[in-house]
Amino acid sequence: MWKYTLVFLLMATMAHGRERITLVEKGKSNFVLQFDQNDPVLLKAAQIINDFTEQCTGAIFVFGSGNMSKPSIILKQLPIDQTYPADSYSIAFRSGHLYIQGSGKGVLYGAYRYVRTIIGARKWFTGKEDTFVPKLTSLAVDADLSIFAKPSFQFRELYFPVELDQEYMDWYGLHNLEEKWGAWGHTFNKIIPPAIYFKEHPEYYALYNGTRQPIQLCLSNEAVFELTVAYFKEQMLENPAAAYWSIAPNDDIGHCTCDRCQAIDKREGGPQGSLIHFVNQVAARFPDKQFTTLAYVQTANAPSHLHVADNVTVILSNIDAFRNDDIQKENSAAIFRRQLRDWKAKAKHIFVWDYLTQFTNYLAPFPIQGTMQKNLYYLQSQGVEGVFLQGGGTAYSDMAELNAYILAHLVWDTDLSEEDLIDEFVNGYYDQAGPFVKAYLVARRNHLFNASSALSIYGNPIDNRADFLSPKAMDGYSTLLEKAEAAIEGDQRLEKRIRRIGLGLDYAYLQQARFYGPRQHGIFEEKDGHWITRPKVKHKVNKFITDVKKLGLTELAEGGPSPDKYAQEWEDIFNTGFRINKAANALVTLKYPFDTSFPANGVRTLTDSVPGYLDYSYNWLLWNGNPMDIELNFKDGQQMDSITVNFLQDARHWIFAPEEVRIAVSMDGRSFQEVLSDRTETVDEDYTVQKVKFSAQIAGHVKIVRVYAKPLSKLPVWRHHPSRKPMIACDEIWIE
């Protein structure tokens, strides 16, 4: 196992002209721990110091009784003030004693700093398996040791699997929502649940698209205000220790457009007006409490005139920014930078909700390394006081161990070198494989520069198939990881760590194989006149599923699928096999362009024999508000038995089956016969993602096929959006 540099800890009391203080010598110590044993924070800090000192040297420090005749490690609580903001701490020798003191939980964090700096232990990831404690016979430190640490952000949450390990949280001085918030996030439905109130009091809810709907609250309704005040009074009695209380819209569009709400919103430039007006009113009833609200989607912009109450913190999201570059430079983050500037002019306290993984594909390689320090430094420089840094939550996402390690250090000190933190981590966590892991990280970041597609938190491995996830680039990454595996062969713990990286490459390969279908790098190949599944693909699927389960990964994307469901998807693909599409030889013309945001395989998507699956972002062509009007021209004609067209139903993304579908054929290239006419009269509320099939029997020699599909004329009431149009998505026009 790699050994962290600890030579200085083995020196005697004098070295290189500097005085050294010996804490432990040959498993024994004259130092005692002095602290108020009635203080739970100090008691826990003392236990941490003893636990890790014993693991390291075999020695423990006896708890003292106030007698200062012996050299002591003194733990002391300090009041929160300007010198020692909340959670700050210091470690220093004075008069022969080692003082560890801090405010809030600072002494606890100082105890772990003792473990990191004086003992030299490292906590790389969750659990004891990923915690390194050196074995030493002696422990000594510089007599002039002086450390002072105060966090760069007063709220510091890393929403990664590390939250499952309380020791990790305390080791790095991190927070979680449950610790700080009495009510978090989108709370309107918690404050006034529609299931209880909507039937009898629809006026409590938003007047939207002409009707009262239980999607948001009517923030100018006096009863809503009084119920909100009553809700927080009750919740605060039940949870008096909570630091923050959220008043924020539900995670959906639909702000109230009644006359009173509209009057405020028109004056303030949008729904943020009525929201801030309401939050300020509630906050005024609880002047000694701290509230938060969300600047998100419809409320992302600052109000034109209103200022936010001093006991309210605005949490601003940068959800629309791509991740190719840091947010100070990234072009797509320009709106966020403007919003942050505007909110700073209106609010005393700002937190930022940041995103650090691809939520649609947790395991997909997501090369953000090199941007994290710059992002956090920028946020701190703009006066941001807290950060919620969202990875995959309890689900593992690409390089989660490394990302959490870097961020855990940077939220305390944004001046630290990200490059140094990466080097320390890869060499410590991956041991002799470290240089190859570092080369992998550098290579994928370098391939990202001048990318043809954005690095999006809602992207897909096929988006970057021409740059950092090209087949050639991924072959290079695989070679580096093979070298990493060879360097630590036989060490099962290290092999598991490297394999976890490799899962991301396998996942990207498999997702891209679905896109390529019968083409190079795809699922199927032709052999002896028959189309078969490539053995490599089947092998990779089986190994991927086995290893994902072995490593304890339970969710591959936000909201699913599970490994078992993913395995079933592949089983269905293999069982269906390859289906030849006679339309492949047709000349395809479009009357209306498809949405170039999702280009798939261009117009060939409709005839390339590659079906769409249940993810609209690839193998589907989308039309946004326009009809799909397609003509397939067969120069010499084509014998046909049937024509089948599949459309996607995905209401969550405003994709619906067409309102009208018509198919017509021409045998002579001049006159047409309609073989299918279908209309959808009503659209029931249904968020199930599924394919909707339309099919016509032909039995003839056809020269031209026309397929017309008209989207819904307007979005259903239950999925209304002020700026979106109904979309249709087609994967293939199958001709047999």
pLDDT, tens digit, 9 for 90 and up, residues 436-474: 999 999 999 999 987 778 999 999 999 999 999 999 999
User: How far apart, in whole angstroms, are the C-alpha atoms of residue 273 and residue 346?
Assistant: 12
User: How far apart, in whole angstroms, are the C-alpha atoms of residue 265 and residue 298?
Assistant: 11
User: How far apart, in whole angstroms, are the C-alpha atoms of residue 179 and residue 683?
Assistant: 43
Residue 5 has pLDDT above 80, yes or no: no
Segment 549-608, tens digit of pLDDT = 999 999 999 988 899 999 999 999 999 899 899 999 899 999 999 998 888 889 999 999
Residue 80 has pLDDT above 70, yes or no: yes
Residue-level pLDDT at 14: 39
Q: What is the pairing mode between strands 312-317 and 349-355?
A: parallel
- For the residues 313-322, what does the mean pLDDT come to? 95
The residue behind tokens 């540099």 is 5
- For the residues 257-278, what does the mean pLDDT come to? 97
Residue 16 has pLDDT above 80, yes or no: no
Return all residues near 421 (Cβ < 8 A) that are at least 6 apart: 405, 406, 409, 410
Tell me the two tokens of residue 736.
């047999």
Q: At what angle do helices 400-410 and 372-381 cross, to 10 degrees?
A: 30
Tell me the two tokens of residue 454.
């954005």
408, 158 in Cβ contact below 8 A? yes
Residue-level pLDDT at 166: 95
Instruction: State the pLDDT confidence band at 2, using cuts at 50, 70 and 90.
Output: very low
Residue 500 has pLDDT above 50, yes or no: yes
- For the residues 502-506, what does the mean pLDDT come to? 97
Residue-level pLDDT at 681: 80
User: How far apart, in whole angstroms, are the C-alpha atoms of residue 337 and residue 384?
Assistant: 12
Return all residues near 638 (Cβ < 8 A) that are at least 6 apart: 582, 585, 586, 701, 702, 703, 735
- For the residues 421-435, what does the mean pLDDT come to? 98
| Average pLDDT along the chain | 93
pTM for the whole structure: 0.92
149, 385 in Cβ contact below 8 A? no
Q: What is the pairing mode between strands 131-132 and 122-123?
A: antiparallel
DSSP, collapsed to helix, strand or coil, labels residue 352 as strand
- For the residues 334-352, what does the mean pLDDT come to? 98
Return all residues near 700 (Cβ < 8 A) that are at least 6 apart: 639, 640, 665, 667
Instruction: State the pLDDT confidence band at 9, using cuts at 50, 70 and 90.
Output: very low
User: How far apart, in whole angstroms, are the C-alpha atoms of residue 205 and residue 249?
Assistant: 11
Helix (H) or strand (E) holding 213: strand 211-217
Residue-level pLDDT at 17: 54
- CA neighbor of 110 nearest in space, from 74, 155, 137: 74
Cα separation of the two ends of the chain: 61
Cα 29 to chain centroid, rounded: 46
Residue-level pLDDT at 3: 35
The values of phi and psi at residue 621, to 5°, are -100, 135
- CA neighbor of 211 nearest in space, from 193, 198, 195: 198
Return all residues near 298 (Cβ < 8 A) that are at least 6 apart: 249, 253, 255, 270, 271, 272
Return all residues near 526 (Cβ < 8 A) that are at least 6 apart: 518, 532
Which residues on adjacent β-strands are paired with residue 643?
696, 735
Residue-level pLDDT at 13: 36
DSSP, collapsed to helix, strand or coil, labels residue 734 as strand
734, 583 in Cβ contact below 8 A? yes
Burial readout 700-732 (b: 16 or more C-beta within 10 A, e: otherwise): eebbbbbbbbbbbeebbeebbeeeeebbbbbbb
Please report the beta strands in 446-601, taking only residues with DSSP state E, as ranges in sequence order. Answer: 524-527, 530-533, 587-590
Residue 680 has pLDDT above 90, yes or no: no
Q: Which of 74-88, 147-161, 676-690 has the lowest average pLDDT?
A: 676-690
CA distances to 435, 444, 469 from 366, in Å: 19, 9, 10
Q: At what angle do helices 372-381 and 418-429 cross, to 10 degrees?
A: 140
Residue 6 has pLDDT above 60, yes or no: no
The fraction of the chain above a pLDDT of 70, given in percent, is 98
- CA neighbor of 534 nearest in space, from 577, 479, 563: 577
Residue-level pLDDT at 613: 86
Residue 1 has pLDDT above 60, yes or no: no
Q: What is the CB-side half-sphere exposure of residue 357 using CA atoms within 13 A?
A: 30
CB atoms near residue 282 (< 10 Å): 21
- For the residues 47-54, what does the mean pLDDT come to? 97
DSSP assigned state of 539? H
